[in-house]
Amino acid sequence: MLRKRSPLIICGAFIFVAWNVILIFVLMRRPSTQGALDSPDEPGNTGDGAGGGQFGNIMNEVMRVANAFEAELESQKKILLQIQSHWAVWENKGGVTAAKPKSQAEHSAPAVIPILVIACNRVTVKRCLDKLIEHRPSAELYPIIVSQDCGHAETSDVIASYGSKLTHIKQPDLSDISVPPQHKKFQGYYKISRHYRWALNQVFNTFSYSSVVVVEDDLEVAPDFFEYFRALYPILKSDPTLWCVSAWNDNGREGFVDPGKASLLYRTDFFPGLGWMLTKDLWAELEPKWPASFWDDWMRHPDQRRDRSCIRPEISRTLTFGRKGVSLGQFYDKYLRFIKLNSEFVPFTKMDLSYLEKKKYDESFEKEVYSAPVVTVEDLQSGKLSGSGPFRVQYSSPDSFKTLARNLGVMDDLKSGVPRAGYRGVISFLSRGKRVYLAPPAGWSQYDPSWG
């Protein structure tokens, strides 16, 4: 609609300018209705140029024409303002806000949050793209950019079949990467890291977006995926203690999450990935030191995390269906294929999410965790505990953490001392229908990177 109307606006502007040129010409050549330009031979005209006479009449006529011209300009100014107003409305309908002053547009216009799909050689990217397009509420507010590595023709054909519904870009460097001999089998991880760097540079530096949600080609999204990120975008932008928002719960398997709390959100010190949002400012910080490989574990190092947290949900808003990949299905058969994907639409943008603010969150979280009674794994498994909890199971070393995590069925690995989905060392999950916190002793102060 915008393309059809734009020529009409341009034509209207041209007519407006032409009309004013003609108007000026006519007004300047128009004879006086009072006979101001009398011949010097007429009675009463001295022709000497002093005081009244012909010169005075000319001056009067010039003043009259100027006043008429000023009035006409004022009228034309009102018309021009009306044209400008209509132009702004039509531009907004086309997703453009350039007609508004920048400060007003930034204040009132909703942010554009692009979705970056990292693809390679999976034709099953179709499942990912179908769900993104099915649940996307607006193509203008959520443009989809598919960045493809590997040069796989069949996958490229699948992506191209979506036409204008998405933007298809291709990583130009498909060469092998020189790696240490002991990392020869990890060549794929090096290529993935190179691809991420190139793709994120495209989003932020070429397309000039201010944020992005990154998904990989083996993820299926929940119905409220876009609503979730829309609601958390302003929180991520304004809270310096956060550095990402993730759609993923590492311990979000069926039976380990509360289906009645689909709206529940957490702070986590563990970088989850698997559908996550970052800002351009964060990328400007990370890009100069981006690693050659294993980028996700690099993100979990204290030098990158810098005591910042991510937001993650009780119930995941993404589901991975890609068993085969460079990780050779690590964790997939035991954990990932059982992750519960949220099916209930939660109106996050209409909810009060201020409880996620760090000071408020920490006070409430610590009170709930450390006021919960300490129990053993045997107590939980016996079925003799009454009530729904919460209950606390306490660990004091990396070995005790791993043993307890395995017995309770949650993921037992640590990255730089941080447990998956953990916050201040605490993991929250359900066990036999009871809320459980696997937690370090009270007084926890910081992670020990030597753990793990």
Cα–Cα–Cα angle for 198, 308, 356, rounded to 5 degrees:
115
Tell me how far apart the alpha carbons of residues 411 and 397 are, in angstroms, rounded to a whole number. Answer: 16
Tell me how far apart the alpha carbons of residues 430 and 257 are, in angstroms, rounded to a whole number. Answer: 6
Whether 296 is a known active-site residue: answer yes
Tell me how far apart the alpha carbons of residues 402 and 405 are, in angstroms, rounded to a whole number. Answer: 5
Phi and psi dihedrals of 220, rounded to 5? -105, 135
Per-residue DSSP letters for 374-441? B--HHHHHHT---SS--EEEE--SHHHHHHHHHHHTS---EETTEETT-BTTBEEEEETTEEEEEEPP
Q: Which residue has the tokens 């598919």?
A: 146
- Find all residues with CB under 8 Å of 252, minimum gap 6, and list them: 313, 314, 315, 316, 339, 340
- Is the Cβ–Cβ distance between 390 and 369 less than 8 Å? yes
- CA atoms in the 13 A half-sphere facing the CB of 24: 7
- CA atoms in the 13 A half-sphere facing the CB of 422: 24
**Of 38, 239, 258, 296, which residue is the catalytic one?**
296
Structure tokens at 400: 């005790």
- Is the Cβ–Cβ distance between 312 and 269 less than 8 Å? no
Q: Is the peptide bond before 390 cis (omega within 30 degrees of 0)?
A: yes
- Cα–Cα separations (whole angstroms), residue 389 to 96, 298, 374, 395, 430: 51, 36, 11, 18, 9
**Strands of 434-439's sheet, edge to edge?**
391-394, 434-439, 427-431
Q: Which H helix or E strand runs over 167?
A: strand 167-170
Catalytic residues: 296
